[in-house]
Amino acid sequence: MTHPAKQSPAVWLSLLWLAVIPVLNIFYGYLNHPTEHVYSLVTDLDRLTPFVPSFIIPYVLWYPFKAAVLIGLAFKDRAVYYRTLLALCGGLVLAYIVYALFQTTVPRPEALDEKGVLNRMIWFVYSHDEPFNCFPSIHVLTSYLMLRGARVFGRTIRWAATIMSILIIASTVLIKQHVLADVVGGILAGELLFRSAGIAVSFLRGHRMRQTLKGGERHISAE
């Protein structure tokens, strides 16, 4: 990967598209409340899944993790960067539409001790995120996209991103923020969107190349 200081201005400008993510995130708060009909996708397997406070750590590391992967992709392979970012933004839009039409909730632990750093971190997350907007899980969807996009990196970074993605996905059910259906929905949506974004980016790059070639031909003809 080329040193960041030697990258062209176009690479740095491409990072401005990351601003779309916080803009889209505004809608999350508007939808994070009960509607007339709230559904539960809890299964017996979810009830058997243990509550593991230590998994709050990978859960909150999701925020810097996705930023680091996207920035790394911008410098490593801009086509994959745009593909991953487009899939992520499309995933947010898709998730918000589902939340508006099919709101779900997840029961949280009733007797959570507030003592200890890990439990306090969980309480902080719970207090800032209502138990709605669950299916599909945005944590899962975006982590899966980071896993897919990170395949262009070298072996060490690729495996680190894969392990981190898996830990984040597991954390969503182990701290009772989501159920298994939310995980499955997030992964399926992520795969569909990543494939669709790949088609879209390839088409746009091909169209741009054709336009460039046509422009060159007209310039030669004029001479």
Instruction: Point out which residues pair with 40 in neighbouring strands.
Output: 105
Instruction: Quote the CA–CA distance of 5 and 162 in Å, as a whole number.
Output: 27
Average pLDDT over residues 192-201: 97
Chain centroid to CA 130: how far?
Answer: 19
Q: Which tokens hold the place of 137?
A: 């899980």
Map residue 24 onto helix, strand or coil: helix
Residue 13 has pLDDT above 80, yes or no: yes
pTM: 0.89
**Tokens 């200081």, residue?**
5
Whether the CB-CB separation of 89 and 24 falls below 8 Å is answered with yes
Measure CA 60 to chain center.
13
Sign of CA dihedral 194, 195, 198, 204: negative
**CA R_g for the chain:** 20
Can you give the pLDDT at residue 8? 73
Q: Is the pLDDT of residue 207 over 70?
A: no
Domain ranges of the chain: 47-222
Structure-token match 């030697």, residue found: 6
pLDDT in tens, 73-128: 999 999 999 999 999 999 999 999 999 999 999 999 987 877 899 999 999 999 99
Q: Which residue has the higher pLDDT, 200 or 206?
A: 200
